[in-house]
Amino acid sequence: MEESVVIDRPRTEVFDFFANPDNVAVYSSNLVDYDVVSGGPHEVGRSAKFAVKVVGVRLEYTDELVEYVENERLKTSSKDGRIPYSITINFADAGSGTTVSWLQEVESLGGVFKFGDGLVIKMYSKDVRSNLEKAKALLED
């Protein structure tokens, strides 16, 4: 699943916003809890425990920051949880703004939901789109 948005702010500012784990709860509407449990904010290996609600199902995870390329890319991967995933967020100049591209890869939804996988992915894509739009509004305000 891939979504992107152009934010009318310099890339360094946009990257810093997304790289700060304290901001995850600010722009993520489906996040229930979020706590960094080890490592510094920009340290590869940093772990966070959190819970999200996806189509009414609470999913608990621990993820790890596995790639940090300043002003270019952040990548996290699940260490545990019911649906293994990775999220790569890329940042690129777009005129005077920044394109933020969010790529989330999942191995399988594993029958966690009562709906078909395609429908759940479509609904979750709307959540991601909404979260990116919220980050855009916060940064451009």
Q: What is the pLDDT of residues 46-58, one digit of tens each?
A: 999 999 887 677 8
Per-residue pLDDT band at 83 (split at 50, 70, 90):
confident
Give how far the C-alpha of residue 110 lies from the chain's centroid of Cα atoms, to the nearest Å. Answer: 21
- Mark residue 43 as left, alpha or beta (left: phi above 0; alpha: psi -120 to 50; beta: remaining): beta
Return the structure tokens found at 37: 């449990």
% of the chain with per-residue pLDDT over 90: 62
State the Cα–Cα distance between residues 60 and 49, nearest whole angstrom.
8
Summarised one tens digit per residue, pLDDT across range 102-113 is 998 876 555 554
In sequence order, the β-bridge partners of residue 72 are: none
Task: Please check the confidence at residue 93 and state whether its pLDDT lies above 80.
Answer: yes
CA dist list (Å): 47 to 22, 23, 40, 79, 95: 13, 15, 9, 9, 34
pLDDT confidence of residue 43: 95
> How many separate domains does the chain show?
1
Q: Which CATH number fits the domain that encloses residue 67?
A: 3.30.530.20
Domain encompassing residue 56: 2-140
Task: Please check the confidence at residue 36 and state whether its pLDDT lies above 50.
Answer: yes
State the Cα–Cα distance between residues 56 and 134, nearest whole angstrom.
21
